[in-house]
Amino acid sequence: MSDKETSGTLFGVPYNFERPSMGRMLSAYWKPGEGMLVEKPFGIGYTLNLANWRSWVILAVAGLMFWMESNKASETESENEPVEVIVDDD
């Protein structure tokens, strides 16, 4: 079996493929005193730090955009309904 590294950085992007524990998963998303982005507890890259207020702004904006898009889709469905046209031949 090869001894490959399971965590580190590649071109400045962090990676971690160690088996995640519940404690490490929970503590990775709540790091007071750190920036908006923190290293992912499993996988490649960064994730939002929920202890930072800016992360909540990002989540609120994303939720608002999702809500607006879902409302837009429901409005266009009602606009595509067939319309009855009555022509008066005088």
Tens-place pLDDT, residues 46-77: 999 999 999 999 999 999 999 999 888 766 66
Q: Which residue type sits at 4?
A: K
Global pTM reads 0.65
Angle among Cα 25, 42, 47 to the nearest 5 degrees reads 75
Residue at 29 is within a domain: yes
Residue at 1 is within a domain: no
8 A C-beta contact, residue 42 and residue 16: yes
Residue at 32 is within a domain: yes
Residue at 49 is within a domain: yes
8 A C-beta contact, residue 41 and residue 18: no
Residue at 88 is within a domain: no
As for how many domains the chain has, the answer is 1
Model confidence at 81, pLDDT cuts 50, 70, 90, reads: confident
Range of the domain at 38: 7-79
